[in-house]
């Protein structure tokens, strides 16, 4: 096993390159954008379009789950934010 040492102030390890890290970052951003567009289509846009001939797209258009998902997720978001704040307070004063 080789003994690898990092230079002082170095954040990345020798096995990762800046180009590879940038590629991973761009891929995560693109995945998030595609997920947002798919969710917006399923929850809002498909309701305003005429009926589809494709059974999969027709099922998405007639689905009510995604229209209710965001309003039901908001209270859970508040609970998660509260617990995050509480854990940071407990950690700070420990």
Domain residues for 81? 19-92
Q: What is the pLDDT of residue 3?
A: 64
Could you say which residues of the chain have pLDDT below 50? Answer: none
Specify the pLDDT at position 7.
59
Residue 68 in any domain: the answer is: yes
Sign of the CA dihedral with 74 first, then 75, 76, and 82 last: positive
Neighbours of 46 (CB within 10 A): 17
pLDDT at 68: 84
pLDDT for res 66? 77
In-domain check, residue 8: no
- The reported pLDDT for the residue numbered 16 is 73
**How many separate domains does the chain show?**
1
């Amino acid at each position: 096993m080789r003994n690898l040492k990092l230079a002082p102030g170095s954040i990345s390890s020798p096995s990762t390159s800046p180009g590879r890290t940038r590629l991973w970052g761009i891929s995560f951003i693109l995945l998030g954008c595609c997920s947002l567009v798919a969710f917006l289509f399923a929850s809002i846009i498909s309701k305003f379009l005429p009926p589809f001939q494709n059974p999969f797209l027709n099922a998405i258009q007639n689905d009510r789950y995604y229209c209710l998902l965001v309003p039901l997720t908001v209270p859970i978001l508040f609970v998660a934010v509260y617990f995050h704040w509480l854990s940071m307070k407990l950690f700070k004063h420990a």
